[in-house]
Structure 1
Amino acid sequence: MQSDSNALFARGTRLRRVATGLTATALGLICAGAQASPAAQTSGYDANAGLSSSAPSSATHTLAPAAPHGVRGLAVRLVSQTLATTPRNAADAPHPPKPPAVVDPVLDPLMRGILERLAISEAVARTKYSSGKPVQDTPREQALLDSMGDRAAQYGLTPAQARTFFRLQIEAGKLVQTALLARWKREGGAPGEPVDLATRLRPALDRLGASLMHDLGRLCALPDGPLRMARIHQARERIAKAAKLEALQRAAFDEATSGLCLSAPPRIWTLSVRR
């Protein structure tokens, strides 16, 4: 009984050695088969570059007719399967993520600055709702327009261009404030906490004004014509879509961007409020 077990053990050991040898031979042929086999040499495959432009449309069909039998045939078939699963052109490769939308280096900063000013106008409305101050502040508006007109030349603008631009910013801001105050009056309260107008909001508006003048000067330095108008329209639509503006915000944004580089506003919004 013991001799039978020893014989079976010895036979199993020999079989494992043979299997190991065959496996090593197959792996060696996979690595060297491209040089030893004429079919592999004519397949047009490069380990670093993939299939060359002169390779046949199916690597499996190229290698199969010349593939020998036995272990070497197994190695060639394995190479063929590898080639068959390799992407052969750009259409087979995974698609890269879509590039981000094209950003206009001149218009986008200006459009975003205008949106930022409108956002501050919402904070101003919240403060005025709490304090009871009116939307209209004629002395403040006139002081802003005079200041921007005096500084216009520093940014390559005419005084009329600067005044028109900020007149429209003021009107757009008042459009937002008037509509929000009416809404909050109907609802009986405003969301959020008020922010001090004199110490925080107006200084923020003043700092933003210089940035807007700089960006507007860059835009107005471009040649006037259909191309500039097209860029303005494209940037306006792209920024508005990205910001997901509500109806009130979009109306104010359109108003604020309607007179870029003009010497007189094209129109003035009027808003009637139901009492």
Structure 2
Amino acid sequence: MANAQIRKESFSKRRPILAVVIIELLLLFAVFAAGAVATMKQLDYTSPVLLSFTPIAIVLIIYLTLRRRWGEIGFRSLRTIPVEQTKYYIPLILVLGTIALKGFGELTLSKVAFFIFFTLLVAFVEETIYRGLIFNILLRKSAVAAVLTSSILFSITHIMNALSGQNMADIALQLVYALLIGVVLALLMLKNGNIIPLVLFHFVHNLIQFLGDDLQDTGTLPYDIFVIVVLVGYCIWLTYSVRTQRHSVDSSNTSQPINR
């Protein structure tokens, strides 16, 4: 009976660490392979993501649909988020507003339409993998493991920006930025279990950045530093809130009378 129960468990439940490693390696392999193809074919800078993330998105949609796991990894109605919890999403709006202050480049209908598709694709794939699959696999071990590991892997994945010729200072800033964003989104996932707001934020965040004015990049450092400071404070606030919430739940459970 015990052996039958073990066989029925999914691979991710039996080998959570190995499952996370495999997911991350497959994603990195797909991105770097697509990057190699794009380099050989001399395609533009968006091609590696399109070549790798489009099939990944299709596989994710098929897998989540056939296994009926959409709700399990956080794709739930926004109405499941209590009204009193909506205040914890306000700093995300501050972050979006700050990066929008950097300005925008010349916009055309075709450019906007393309980057809407492009950034929505990236947001769906990355949130589904990091705050959906990886987060939930590791949550069975501990909340700390789920938040930190998913955020670190999310940050490491963004090291592929090094291939675009940026200097080490810019790359380090991006990795710290991605790590803080990852921790914030993971904590929000831990708090409310809804991935939809995270996908929307990721989508709008990337859309603003891709439509931004590249000519003003040299003057954006103060904005970046301000956003990082906001994110650090945001992480502290969310961590305190999550710990308080979990302590309240634990205290409530222990105070309940045991029915015999």
Fold-level similarity (TM above 0.5): no
Compare the two structures and name the one with the higher helix fraction.
Answer: 2
The alignment's TM-score, normalised by the length of structure 1, stands at 0.29
The alignment's TM-score, normalised by the length of structure 2, stands at 0.30
Question: Highest Rg: 1 or 2?
Answer: 1
